[in-house]
A and B are shown apart, each in its own frame.
Chain A
């Protein structure tokens, strides 16, 4: 348990280390000098403690520089960006909620109150969308970004630039959503976006399209992020950190991300179809005869129910961690806790129809989904009991993070019990569309928020290096808890109020008034939090590496805030507890070691410099590799990393800066903003339409140029494995990433194909008029694609044999075959257009054009990559490392396989 008996030279600090078994040194608080040392409090106001030295070494601006935040790819920076941004969205969504609560002060006739009917509907819709998408998940993923790499012992995520890209896409998707309000009103069809209210015939404003596109962009961001997290968490865990041994927060995130990968792919399909309906005029959701309306509910809830757990799991993780830390006891039944989460994650994909008990689904299906719903509620019972039993015989310290976690558990119990009511189908029939549902899911989801707020206080000292004000923290909790219950509990009492109306039975008015008051108390509590956290940045006491007793996870073993490269060595749990290995040999570690080896020095250092010292460590210690000038150059983004392959991760000197994720996101933002002006596949004539068209064009150019620059940039990420990589030991990061991405793409195509089958069945399988009357072009295309798959294999073989000419020739053939495919398809489509078939002709045409169009989009993306590969191969690349060709091949084969499904489905059956 202690490190003293630890055979390895785990560097520094440990030796001197105290009986408290801290792998890290300094606990300044025991060190009397620390407290009196107010001197540097002012000095540390300079968060930017990463001085010019760092810039020199990393080509990476300090935190005080605005530039840093635009170019950063470091997981901790991105985490901070996520947290701050998501809190802004919390305010946005919260204000919308308060507007609704004001409107609900009394039952209103139309035009009364502060909101018009449509404005109220917009508030309802966008409040829901923001809280679920733009606040909850990103807030949790702020912590995930910051903490998960630390907990698994990685220096960063596997694809740091993709991480930055996820953030920027997220931010810009949020901006799009904000803009939608100024385009004739935002989306007003509820966060569930039920069809066909979601199509332009019923919600014609441009802003409504923009909101949908904003969500689409958000989903893209989530997909990028999921691939990144999964690759990192599976491939880059420290030695000894098998999946079973992962800390619970990391476990919760791991399962969350797996759910996200598949659930959001279904939402992506739904939103792509909806966007096509809104912008290009396809007729999926308008098709009453083909079950268009029901199709939406299936697609949405197939995503929507896992989403409930996606937003709640991270909160569970935070609860588990904080319960352990603040009760001083390990979690009771940890194994079962994890098993429960795993079970829930799996089951979450088979409960969606319980949102549809009142649709036309039959009794058998209702029975099945009632059973799965009850099934999924049971593991939560176990988790709740596990948390409660953990407190027994503990020594509970009621500090702010624990208060929030404890409060969250209490609220979640109420949310859970009221959820059982909904599981009884007979009761659900009557609760459907009422405030019972509203109250229930707020008790569950906002219980999640409560725990995450606890997480914010928990990790605040780690992230900022400062302690928040404990008294104000407790005031926040008191206001929050009272406000929460005042707000949501009355909703149970007057549950017969229909959802999303502002004209209700006057007898309910007193309770709605209480709820409104509660809403304002809840809102005010956040003002206390913002004040507390903001002023503490300057006035707060310095936090040492672990301000909490009984914290266990690795992030507490390093300074607060952690240095850029996180660890003073390679983290390992190889011998059962955390230690930092030094595989580079003594000399390199000297800088760092010097600081930590000798305990006295450490204490002294910290006492005098406080937070600054930590950052200095990033400058000096972290960059041990500066001993090697070559590596230093490389840090600046110079060289490929082959030459120091012999080095261990430590010496790699990963890059930290790239502007291209930001630029790509700007391009995507402008493109989608421009596209929002489309209706029925055309821009409106006149100035406005022209403006939208120009925006689309500019955005597309910016995006493509940035993507090319992104691809050309030499960016040096981390390559595992560092210890545990199950189950992807033998597969490099990029390949793992491609596989994971393809898994989500399978769901995307699956949802498209499923939609087609669903609509065809609904309107009569045999009476369905097959749109491409002639299967011949499809058959030709099948051969073309199959051949092109073969030539990609040839390219790989040529690369492995070192034949540059072979690589180029094979890739070129692939490219030409792909172009042939598109050309052939172009002729086919042109033919169909001349027959008078267009996307909006009928649902048969819509499904055909959209599904095969999506496939063609994949082919085009593949061809762009092929072109890039050809150019690089021309320059002599890939002969030594054929990885890129192999990864592209995976993608290309996948695209072919999809076609093998599409061809019979659309041309023959």
Chain B
């Protein structure tokens, strides 16, 4: 029964391949978002406009005067009557049907994209990175075991799959510009993917309130030309990752946002000492990562 929707959706996609948005997540999102925005605005303007128009048209004139004289209007609801409705059912049914058709067809249209997003056809060919959230930063584990903190490096133009989890509390890993997002749940893995078409740096953030450092729980996503990425990746090893910056370097880095978060947590009455210390280390690592990235 549950699978019914999927089965129903499949032929739909086959039939309308051109209509269903595909491509990078950003492209998909933008297409759908703009269609919704335009249609939504249109419907909103029409409905609210109609509502205001009627309200103006059928306003009681000032001449109608007080509430008392309004009462004398014939045929209106009267005190003590048993509640009843007015007619107009056909019009109501019509507008309801119309709205239902618009909404359902919009959603069905996006459902095709959902199927595409959920199981991109060439899933096997892409790189998979494990993302581990912790209070308050992100750790990335590459297929070769290389582990970095605070910076995720990916090749441009390639699909990157993320397996997201958490080491402590519920986080959410999201890269706004690349439209990738997944919950980071302790003990569970969630999957998402993205394609960065342009090289450059993007910001990843935590999208689920996770404690005092939540506002600053960021990571940098560096999209590199495939060749550059391959060169970098070939040099990484599971043991030491790419970070060779000494802790002293990290400590002297000018107050990055992560530093701020750490200071704040340490000041918070609730934070236990070991956790604050752990955070400090993480923050230092993150800063080190960042300084390297620049």
Interfacial residues, chain A to chain B (CB-CB below 8 A): 1, 3, 20-24, 27, 29-30, 108-111, 116-118, 120-121, 124-125, 184-185, 188-190, 194-197, 202-205, 208, 240-241, 245-248, 287-294, 324-325, 327-337, 356, 358-360, 363-368, 370-371, 374, 377-378, 381-382, 384-386, 388-399, 406, 409-410, 413-414, 417-418, 420-421, 423-427, 429-430, 432-434, 496, 498-503, 546-554, 556-557, 573, 576-579
Q: Which residues of A contact B142 (CB under 8 A)?
A: none
Between-chain CB contacts (< 8 Å), 7 pairs: A20-B72, A21-B79, A248-B83, A293-B185, A367-B9, A399-B67, A432-B172
Contact between chains at A552 and B80 (CB < 8 Å): yes
Query: A517 CB to closest chain B CB, in angstroms?
Result: 22
Contact between chains at B209 and A189 (CB < 8 Å): yes
Q: Which residues of B contact A248 (CB under 8 A)?
A: 83
Q: Which of B72, B95, B183, B272 is within 8 Å of A385, CB to CB?
A: B95
Report the nearest A residue to B267, measured CB to CB: A116
Given the known interface contacts A185-B270, A424-B107, the answer about A20 and B83 at a Cβ–Cβ threshold of 8 Å is no
Q: Which residues of A contact B76 (CB under 8 A)?
A: 328-330, 395, 549-550
Interface: B229 (CB within 8 A): no
Q: Which of A289, A391, A547, A557 is within 8 Å of B187, CB to CB?
A: A289
Q: Which chain B residues in 151-187 approach chain A with CB under 8 Å?
A: 168-170, 172, 174, 176, 179, 181-183, 185-187
Q: Report how far A208 CA is from B263 CA in the complex, Å.
A: 22
Interface: B234 (CB within 8 A): no
Contact between chains at B261 and A117 (CB < 8 Å): yes
Interface: B292 (CB within 8 A): no
14 further A-B contacts with Cβ under 8 Å, apart from A194-B208, A368-B2, A427-B29, are: A117-B261, A240-B82, A293-B187, A294-B185, A328-B60, A329-B86, A333-B85, A358-B190, A360-B188, A367-B114, A389-B91, A397-B64, A424-B36, A434-B207
Contact between chains at B58 and A426 (CB < 8 Å): no
Q: Which residues of A contact B73 (CB under 8 A)?
A: 328, 395, 549-550
Q: Which of A3, A396, A399, A502 is within 8 Å of B215, CB to CB?
A: A502
Report the nearest A residue to B205, measured CB to CB: A498
Q: Which residues of A contact B189 (CB under 8 A)?
A: 360
Interface residue count on the B side (C-beta < 8 Å): 105
Interface: B103 (CB within 8 A): yes
Contact between chains at A413 and B47 (CB < 8 Å): yes
Contact between chains at B87 and A550 (CB < 8 Å): no
**Residues 256-279 of chain B: 1 if any A CB is under 8 Å from the residue's CB, otherwise 0?**
010011011101111010000000
Q: Report how far A371 CA is from B170 CA in the complex, Å.
A: 27
**Residues 55-66 of chain B: 1 if any A CB is under 8 Å from the residue's CB, otherwise 0?**
100111000101
Given the known interface contacts A29-B66, A288-B186, the answer about A420 and B268 at a Cβ–Cβ threshold of 8 Å is no
Q: Which of B77, B80, B211, B267 is within 8 Å of A324, CB to CB?
A: B77
Q: Report how far A417 CA is from B48 CA in the complex, Å.
A: 11
Interface: B6 (CB within 8 A): yes
Q: Which residues of A contact B121 (CB under 8 A)?
A: none
Q: Which residues of A contact B89 (CB under 8 A)?
A: 332-333, 336
Interface: B213 (CB within 8 A): yes
Q: Which residues of B contact A430 (CB under 8 A)?
A: 29, 33, 179, 181
Q: Which residues of A contact B117 (CB under 8 A)?
A: 426, 429
Interface: B28 (CB within 8 A): yes
Q: Which 6 residue pairs of A and B lie closest in terms of their CB atoms, listed nearest first?
A: A334-B85, A433-B207, A288-B187, A110-B260, A578-B80, A367-B5
Q: Report how far A423 CA is from B103 CA in the complex, Å.
A: 10
Q: Report how far A498 CA is from B2 CA in the complex, Å.
A: 33
Q: Report how far A385 CA is from B92 CA in the complex, Å.
A: 6
Q: Report how far A246 CA is from B82 CA in the complex, Å.
A: 8
Q: Report how far A364 CA is from B7 CA in the complex, Å.
A: 10
Interface: B19 (CB within 8 A): no
Contact between chains at A331 and B86 (CB < 8 Å): yes
Q: Which residues of B contact A189 (CB under 8 A)?
A: 209, 211
Query: B191 CB to closest chain A CB, in angstroms?
Result: 8
Query: A557 CB to closest chain B CB, in angstroms?
Result: 6
Q: Which residues of A contact B118 (CB under 8 A)?
A: 363, 366
Q: Which residues of B contact A20 (CB under 8 A)?
A: 71-72, 78-79
Interface: B113 (CB within 8 A): yes
**Residues 184-224 of chain B: 1 if any A CB is under 8 Å from the residue's CB, otherwise 0?**
01111110100000000000011111111111100000000
Q: Report how far A241 CA is from B95 CA in the complex, Å.
A: 31
Query: B38 CB to closest chain A CB, in angstroms?
Result: 12
Contact between chains at B6 and A381 (CB < 8 Å): no
Q: Report how far A95 CA is from B180 CA in the complex, Å.
A: 35
Query: A642 CB to closest chain B CB, in angstroms?
Result: 34
Given the known interface contacts A324-B77, A391-B51, A413-B44, the answer about A197 and B106 at a Cβ–Cβ threshold of 8 Å is no
Q: Report how far A677 CA is from B188 CA in the complex, Å.
A: 32
Query: A384 CB to closest chain B CB, in angstroms?
Result: 7
Given the known interface contacts A109-B260, A117-B268, the answer about A396 and B59 at a Cβ–Cβ threshold of 8 Å is yes
Contact between chains at A549 and B50 (CB < 8 Å): no
Contact between chains at A382 and B92 (CB < 8 Å): yes
Residue of A394, A556, A578 ringed by the most chain B CB atoms within 10 A: A394
Q: Which residues of B contact A325 (CB under 8 A)?
A: 77
Contact between chains at A291 and B264 (CB < 8 Å): no
Contact between chains at A395 and B60 (CB < 8 Å): yes
Q: Which residues of A contact B82 (CB under 8 A)?
A: 240-241, 245, 573, 576-577
Q: Which of B40, B84, B114, B212 is within 8 Å of A117, CB to CB?
A: B212
Q: Which residues of B contact A289 (CB under 8 A)?
A: 187
Q: Which chain B residues in 237-273 approach chain A with CB under 8 Å?
A: 255, 257, 260-261, 263-265, 267-270, 272
Q: Which chain B residues in 74-118 approach chain A with CB under 8 Å?
A: 76-89, 91-93, 95-96, 99-100, 103-104, 106-107, 110-111, 113-115, 117-118
Given the known interface contacts A330-B86, A426-B117, the answer about A552 and B60 at a Cβ–Cβ threshold of 8 Å is no
Contact between chains at B260 and A111 (CB < 8 Å): yes
**Residues 22-55 of chain B: 1 if any A CB is under 8 Å from the residue's CB, otherwise 0?**
0000001100110010001001100110110011
Given the known interface contacts A392-B54, A397-B64, A548-B67, the answer about A332 and B79 at a Cβ–Cβ threshold of 8 Å is no
Query: A527 CB to closest chain B CB, in angstroms?
Result: 27
Q: Report how far A289 CA is from B186 CA in the complex, Å.
A: 8
Report the nearest B residue to A14, measured CB to CB: B80
Contact between chains at B66 and A291 (CB < 8 Å): no
Query: B25 CB to closest chain A CB, in angstroms?
Result: 8
Q: Which residues of A contact B231 (CB under 8 A)?
A: none
Residue of A188, A208, A367, A502 ringed by the most chain B CB atoms within 10 A: A367
Q: Report how far A377 CA is from B89 CA in the complex, Å.
A: 19
Q: Which residues of B contact A195 (CB under 8 A)?
A: 169-170
Q: Which residues of B contact A30 (CB under 8 A)?
A: 68
Contact between chains at A358 and B269 (CB < 8 Å): no
Query: A20 CB to closest chain B CB, in angstroms?
Result: 6
Interface: B123 (CB within 8 A): no
Q: Which residues of A contact B169 (CB under 8 A)?
A: 194-197, 202, 293
Given the known interface contacts A1-B78, A395-B60, the answer about A381 and B100 at a Cβ–Cβ threshold of 8 Å is yes
Report the nearest A residue to B262, measured CB to CB: A110
Q: Which residues of A contact B54 (CB under 8 A)?
A: 388, 391-392
Query: A339 CB to closest chain B CB, in angstroms?
Result: 11
Q: Which residues of A contact B36 (CB under 8 A)?
A: 420-421, 424, 427
Q: Which residues of A contact B228 (CB under 8 A)?
A: none
Q: Which residues of A contact B135 (CB under 8 A)?
A: 202
Query: A884 CB to closest chain B CB, in angstroms?
Result: 37
Contact between chains at B88 and A332 (CB < 8 Å): yes
Given the known interface contacts A245-B82, A409-B51, A502-B215, the answer about A293 and B186 at a Cβ–Cβ threshold of 8 Å is yes
Q: Report how far A503 CA is from B256 CA in the complex, Å.
A: 13
Q: Which residues of B contact A291 (CB under 8 A)?
A: 187-188
Contact between chains at A388 and B70 (CB < 8 Å): no
Report the nearest B residue to A206, measured CB to CB: B270
Q: Which residues of B contact A377 (CB under 8 A)?
A: 103
Contact between chains at B172 and A196 (CB < 8 Å): no
Q: Report how far A328 CA is from B73 CA in the complex, Å.
A: 8
Q: Which of A292, A334, A336, A393 is within 8 Å of B83, CB to CB?
A: A334
Contact between chains at A501 and B111 (CB < 8 Å): no
Q: Which of B29, B83, B115 is within 8 Å of A552, CB to CB?
A: B83
Given the known interface contacts A196-B168, A395-B60, the answer about A111 and B209 at a Cβ–Cβ threshold of 8 Å is no
